[in-house]
Amino acid sequence: MHDDIAEILFTEEDIARRVDEIGAAITKDYADCAEEGVVLISVLRGAAIFMADLARKIDLPVEMDYMAISSYGNGAKSSGVVRILKDLSSQIEGRHVIVAEDILDSGLTLTYLLKNLASRRPASLEVATLLRKRTRAQAKIDCAYVGFECPDEFIVGYGLDFAERYRNLPYIGILKPEVY
């Protein structure tokens, strides 16, 4: 798998340091909510690793929940058509919700998800994304927490995949074009 990587963008140490910083920022920002804590929501499967690491760095009560959403079909680019395959198990009305996202690419799926979650009337709704791609066509989404800005390349590792491979790489790298 490592031979398929053209360049490592963020090392395991870079990621751990940035997740620590985001966790500390969330702990500080939600200190007034120390009794009820926050609900972290991850979209399966890519963001699950980021959310698990992030949850351990937040020094507040944390409830974790997951959604499965499909928007890519069989292609490498988003189709713009979003389907919920697995919904939340938790009620989020009146709760402080943070969506833990692996990568903000086009933003089409996240825009849909945020509208869907907002309709459930949480007390607050924010986004913590590990990666934000630098693209011109990206939807306008405010992220309270951004781990890293990254180039508009095909990125894998630390939960991000191509054809369900490379998620288990401990770093984030650019996949060689000949692989996809």
Record the tokens describing residue 166, joined without a space: 């490379």
Q: Give which of 178, 159, 155, 180 is closest to 169, Cα–Cα.
A: 159
CA gap 16, 14 in Å, rounded: 6
Catalytic residue at 105?
yes
Return the closest-CA partner of residue 123 out of 37, 28, 26: 37
Q: HSE of 32 in the Cβ direction (CA atoms, 13 Å)? A: 5
Q: Do 146 and 132 meet the contact criterion of CB atoms below 8 Å apart?
A: yes
DSSP, residue by residue, 56-87:
TT--S-EEEEEEEEE--TTSSS--S--EEEE-
Q: Choose, from 4, 14, 87, 105, the residue flagged as catalytic.
A: 105
Active site residues: 105
